[in-house]
Amino acid sequence: MTKVLNKVKSFFVGIPTKVKNYFKSIPDRLKKKFAGAKEIITQGNSKVGASICCMGLGQLLYKQWTKGSMFILLQVAFILYFVFTGGADLFGLFTLGQVKGDAWFGIAGDNSVVMMLMGIFAVIMIMFYIAIYIVNVKDVYATQCAEDTLKEPLSFKSQAASLLDKNFHKTALTLPIIGVCIFSILPIVFMILIAFTNYGGTTVPPELVDWVGFENFGKILTLGQFAPTFFKIFGWNLMWAVLSTAINFFAGIGLALLLNKACVKCKAIWRAFPILAYAIPGFITLLGFKFMFSYGGPINYYIQQGGGDAIGFLAVNSKWTARLIGLGVNAWISVPSIMLLATGILSNLNNDLYEAARVDGASAWRQFIKITLPYVLFATTPVLITQFINNFNNFGIFYFLRDGVISDSYFLANNTDLLINWLYRISIDNNYYSIGAAISLIIFIVTSIISLTVYILSPSYKQEETFR
Amino acid sequence: MNKAKAKVVKSKSKKVLNVLITYCILIVVAFIFFFPCLWLILASFSKSGSIYSFDGFFPKEYGIDAFKTLFTDTVMYNYPKWFLNTLFISVMSCIFGTLLTILTAYCMSRFRFKSRKKLMKATLVLGMFPSFMGTIAVYLLMTQFNLINQQWGLILIYSGTAPMGYMVQKGFFDTIPYSIDEAARIDGASNFTVFVKFILPLSKPILVYTALTSFTWPWSDFILPKMLLQNRDLWTVAVGLMSLGETEFARFAAGSIIIAIPIIILYFCLVKYMINGMSAGAVKE
Q: A67 phi and psi, to 5 degrees?
A: -65, -45
Q: Do A288 and B263 touch (CB under 8 A)?
A: no
Contact A194, A115 (CB under 8 A): no
Q: Do A184 and B241 touch (CB under 8 A)?
A: no
Q: Which of A165, A284, A347 sits opposite B191 (nearest CB)?
A: A165
* pLDDT tens profile B46-98: 887 777 777 777 777 788 888 888 888 877 788 899 999 999 999 999 999 99
Query: Quick one: CA dihedral A195, A198, A203, A209, positive or negative?
Result: negative
Query: Quick one: CA dihedral B173, A336, A464, B130, positive or negative?
Result: positive
Return d(Cα A29, Cα A111) in angstroms, integer.
Answer: 41
Q: Which residues of chain A have pLDDT under 70?
A: 1-4, 101-109, 153-154, 455-456, 458-468
- Best probe of the B interface among A116, A166, A180, by most B CBs < 10 A, is A180
Q: Taking CA B21 as the corner, what is the angle to CA B15 and CA B25, rounded to the nearest 5 degrees?
A: 145
Q: Which of A282, A380, A448 sits opposite B282 (nearest CB)?
A: A380
Name the residue in chain A with its Cα closest to that of B241: A284
Q: Taking CA A446 as the corner, what is the angle to CA A441 and CA A450, rounded to the nearest 5 degrees?
A: 150
Sort out which chain B residues have CB atoms less than 8 A from A423's CB and list them.
130
| Interface residue A36 vs chain B (CB under 8 A) | no
Q: What is the DSSP string of A149-215?
A: TTPPPPPHHHHHHHTTTTTHHHHHHHHHHHHHIIIIIHHHHHHHHHTTB--BTTB-TTSPP-B-TTH
- Mapping DSSP to helix (H, G, I), strand (E, B) and coil, where does residue A320 land? helix
| Interface residue A182 vs chain B (CB under 8 A) | yes
Q: Do B160 and A180 touch (CB under 8 A)?
A: yes
- Pick from A287, A84, A388: which is nearest to B43 by CA? A287
How far is Cα of residue A346 from the mean position of the Cα atoms in its chain? Answer: 29
In this model, does residue B176 exceed pLDDT 90? no
HSE (side-chain half, CA atoms, 13 Å) at A295: 8
Contact A75, A55 (CB under 8 A): yes
- Residue A247 has what pLDDT? 93
Q: Do B135 and A187 touch (CB under 8 A)?
A: yes
Q: What is the DSSP string of A394-421?
A: --HHHHHHTTT---TTSSS--TT--HHH
Return d(Cα A209, Cα A95) in angstroms, integer.
Answer: 9
Average pLDDT, chain B: 83
| Interface residue A228 vs chain B (CB under 8 A) | no
Q: Which of A117, A344, A420 sits opposite B278 (nearest CB)?
A: A344
Return d(Cα A412, Cα A315) in angstroms, integer.
Answer: 16
Q: Do A332 and B125 touch (CB under 8 A)?
A: no
**Gyration radius from chain A CA atoms:** 30
For A54-79, give one letter per residue: b (16+ CB within 10 A) or e.
ebbbbbbbbebeebbebbbebbeebe
Q: Which of A179, A272, A440 sits opposite B160 (nearest CB)?
A: A179
- Residue A465 has what pLDDT? 43
Q: What is the DSSP string of A2-43?
A: HHHHHHHHHHHHHHHHHHHHHHHTHHHHHHHHHHHHHHHHHH
| Interface residue A465 vs chain B (CB under 8 A) | no
* The amino acid at A34: F
**Gyration radius from chain B CA atoms:** 25
Chain B closest-CA separation from residue A143 CA (Å): 22
Sort out which chain B residues have CB atoms less than 8 A from A424's CB and list them.
132
| Interface residue B184 vs chain A (CB under 8 A) | no
B contact residues 12-71, partner A, Cβ 8 Å cutoff: 15, 18-19, 22-23, 25-26, 29-30, 32-34, 36-37, 39-40, 50-52, 54-57
Count of CB atoms situated within 10 Å of the CB of A415: 22
A contact residues 118-147, partner B, Cβ 8 Å cutoff: 118
Distances (CA, A) of B140 to B132, B147, B198: 14, 10, 43
| Interface residue A241 vs chain B (CB under 8 A) | no
| Interface residue A186 vs chain B (CB under 8 A) | yes
* The amino acid at B157: I
What count of residues does chain A have?
Answer: 468
Chain A closest-CA separation from residue B111 CA (Å): 7
ipTM of the assembly?
A: 0.81
Query: Quick one: CA dihedral A167, A173, A178, A180, positive or negative?
Result: negative
Chain A closest-CA separation from residue B186 CA (Å): 13
* pLDDT tens profile A72-120: 898 899 999 888 888 888 888 888 777 776 666 666 667 788 888 888 8
| Interface residue B188 vs chain A (CB under 8 A) | no
- Residue B3 has what pLDDT? 64
Distances (CA, A) of B200 to A8, B239, B278: 42, 36, 18
Tally of helices (H runs) and strands (E runs) in chain A: 23, 0
Q: Do A395 and B131 touch (CB under 8 A)?
A: yes
- Best probe of the A interface among B53, B268, B283, by most A CBs < 10 A, is B283
Q: Which of B22, B110, B135 sits opposite A258 (nearest CB)?
A: B22
Q: Do B238 and A283 touch (CB under 8 A)?
A: yes
Sort out which chain B residues have CB atoms less than 8 A from A261's CB and list them.
22
Q: A355 phi and psi, to 5 degrees?
A: -55, -50
Sort out which chain B residues have CB atoms less than 8 A from A127's CB and list them.
none
- Residue B285 has what pLDDT? 37
* pLDDT tens profile A391-405: 988 888 888 888 777
Return d(Cα A94, Cα A91) in angstroms, integer.
Answer: 6
- Residue A105 has what pLDDT? 67
The structure's pTM equals 0.80
Pairing mode, strands B54-55 and B58-59: antiparallel
| Interface residue B161 vs chain A (CB under 8 A) | yes
Which residues are registered as beta bridge partners of B190? Answer: none
Return d(Cα B29, Cα B35) in angstroms, integer.
Answer: 10
In this model, does residue B284 exceed pLDDT 50? no
The set of residues, in sequence order, having a beta carbon less than 8 Å from that of A18 and lying 6+ positions away, is none
A contact residues 340-369, partner B, Cβ 8 Å cutoff: 340-341, 343-345, 347-348
